[in-house]
Amino acid sequence: MKPTPAAPAPVPLCDIQAQYRALKSEIDAAVLRVLGSGQAILGPEVAAFEKETAEFCGAQFGVGCGSGTDALVLALRALGIGPGDEVIIPPFTFFATASAVCRIGATPVFVDIDPLTFNIDPNQIEAKITPKTRAIVPVHLFGQCCDMDAIWDIAEEHSLYVVEDAAQSFGSEYKGKRCGALGVAGCLSFYPTKNLGALGDAGLVTTNSPDVDKKLRALRVHGSEVKYYHKYIGYNMRLDAVHAAVLRVKLPHVAAWLDGREKAAERYDALIEGQALHGFLRRPFAKPDRRHTFNQYVVRVPHQHRDALVKYMKDSGVGVEVYYPLSLHQQECFQFLGYRTGDFPTSEEAALSVLALPMFPEITEEQQARVIDVCAGYLRQTVRRAA
């Protein structure tokens, strides 16, 4: 009897253990160093990480905090934004961009996205500016920077702050400058699946302003500059030393990991073309004047096939995900803002067509070939069924 061929190995959406396997002895030593130090929160590991990360981004200061969400809340608060103010954001982003605006008492004002990059469309911003507008939050989605020249011009013209949501774009560049240094403040996330991932939740705000830096440092420790004397009603949004120590081990490897993501994206592009699938899977669009770091490799699929393809791929052992299935103006919790379906057609369309394929720096050519083979298999099957 012939042995049955083994099922192909599953391909995960993301392999966060790969970096731990590669750097195990250094990471273990960093964790033990913190355990032995008795300094669990903030302290020298955090201070060193802040300095190294700010330097990486090309910013003067870095203020570590508990998450990317914390970073957004801290940055907006540090700029004095609050109740009665409006903040312009895209509706096609992770929830935290909008929730941070609400949590400081301000109102998110949505502006639709560019259909090619999924980033905020600068041509639609000015129509949404009112006397209450204080800031624009460009979200560099999936690893690609927004159209910063146009955003800077609008911000200058209307005296608005630019606060980057760079959670998905650590290391991405716009005209040779790294994000995190493209606004008055840059909000970074080190959630384990981001370009630089901690052991758990962690984040950081970058800035070139000494005043903003000072206020961020106070706000993250309950608004106090002197212990037990509170200048502001702040938060507990501190960074743990163990995360900082592990992130410091990983930081010198980020450049190589970003190269790995870029190469993997090129291989996906070639595989999609090679299998003549480009009519079915529309490849991500990378603008030539900036560096896309592919935190996610997001293709577009015809609406009628998207959810069936997701199921087919998951059933075949390929980890895929939909970022994001519902535009933020359509979320239940934001109904009070008064938007309706139809208000942001490009964002709504993206929510129906996007599909993120497995992407991590260590992904192999074989794994990627399998992902695209499974897509091709789905297409063959549906075409056969239709015939």
Near ligand PLP in 175-194, by CB under 6 A: 189, 191
Longest alpha-carbon distance in the chain: 79
Q: Please pick, from the candidates 34, 53, 54, 69, the single residue that binds ligand PLP as defined by CB under 6 A.
A: 69
With CB atoms as reference, the residue minimizing the distance to ligand PLP is 68
Helical H segments across 132-181, by residue range: 148-157
Query: SS3 for 51?
Result: helix
Q: Binders of ligand PLP among 200-259, rule CB under 6 A?
A: 201, 203
Distance, in Å, from the CA atom of 328 to the CA atom of 331, rounded to the nearest integer, reads 5
Residue 337, judged by CB atoms within 10 A of its CB (0-12, 13-18, 19+), counts as: middle
198 sits near ligand PLP (criterion: CB under 6 A): no
Distance between CA 7 and CA 18 in Å, rounded? 22
Looking at 47-55, 89-97, 205-213, 345-353, which segment touches ligand PLP (CB under 6 A)? 89-97
Rounded to 10 degrees, the C-alpha dihedral 87/93/98/101 comes to -50
* Least gap, CB of 19 to ligand PLP (angstroms): 17
Nearer to ligand PLP by Cβ, of 74 and 271: the residue is 74
From the CB of residue 330, how many other CB atoms can be counted at a distance below 10 Å? 18
Position 196 contacts ligand PLP (CB under 6 A): no
Phi, psi values for residue 149, rounded to 5°: -55, -50
Among the listed residues 96, 113, 179, 374, the single contact to ligand PLP using CB under 6 A: 96
Q: Given candidates 53, 97, 119, 195, which one binds ligand PLP under the rule CB under 6 A?
A: 97
Is 367 among the residues that bind ligand PLP (CB under 6 A)? Answer: no
DSSP alpha helix (H) spans, 58-136: 68-78, 95-103
State which residue, 53 or 189, has the beta carbon closest to ligand PLP.
189
Amino acid occupying residue 80: G
Q: In this structure, are residues 276 and 379 in contact, taking their beta carbons and an 8 Å threshold?
A: no
Give the nearest distance from C-beta 296 to ligand PLP in angstroms: 9
Closest C-alpha among 10, 12, 26 to residue 356: 12
Q: Which of 139, 160, 247, 309 binds ligand PLP (CB under 6 A)?
A: 139
Which residue in 92, 94, 268, 334 binds ligand PLP (CB under 6 A)?
94
**Residues engaged in binding ligand PLP (CB under 6 A):** 67-69, 93-94, 96-97, 139, 165, 167-168, 189, 191, 201, 203
